[in-house]
């Protein structure tokens, strides 16, 4: 997460994801999603934001064949162009999200 004040968010939909009819779109690391803030500061609660997933607890396979798994699920609140709304990202960011979103890579302290 970042320092925008959102602590717990709920996924509403996956943006820019084409798929099979009547199938709920799945999101992974680096995908842009639309979320609503469930817990956080009063200014951010019950509002809708765009976000990018930077960590996921489910193991996923990289192109080189290695498997990566994080301890938690986390996203960073952004705007439509991928610019981070906060000024600090807490915790590591996956390499896939950093390569796809350069503004997130510039703000991240640790890229795994």
What are the residue ranges spanned by the domains of the chain? 6-17+26-107
* Mean pLDDT per 10-residue segment, the chain (112 residues): 92 86 89 96 95 97 96 96 93 96 95 96
Give how far Cα 96 sits from Cα of 44, 60, 69, 100, 111, Å: 27, 11, 13, 6, 9
Q: Would you tell me which CATH number, out of the four given (2.40.150.20, 3.40.50.300, 3.40.50.150, 3.50.50.60), belongs to the domain 6-17+26-107?
A: 2.40.150.20
Q: Whole-prediction pTM value?
A: 0.92
Q: Are strands 60-61 and 67-68 parallel, antiparallel or unpaired?
A: antiparallel
């Amino acid at each position: 997460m970042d320092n925008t004040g959102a602590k717990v968010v709920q996924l509403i939909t996956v943006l820019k994801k084409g798929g099979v009819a009547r199938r709920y779109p799945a999101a992974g690391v680096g995908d842009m999603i639309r979320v609503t803030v469930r817990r956080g500061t009063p200014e951010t609660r019950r509002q809708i934001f765009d976000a990018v997933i930077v960590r996921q607890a489910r193991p996923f396979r990289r192109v080189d064949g290695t498997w990566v798994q994080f301890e938690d699920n986390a996203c960073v609140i952004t705007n439509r162009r991928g610019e981070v709304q906060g000024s600090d990202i807490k915790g590591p960011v996956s390499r896939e999200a950093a390569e796809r979103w350069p503004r997130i890579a510039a703000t991240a302290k640790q890229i795994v």
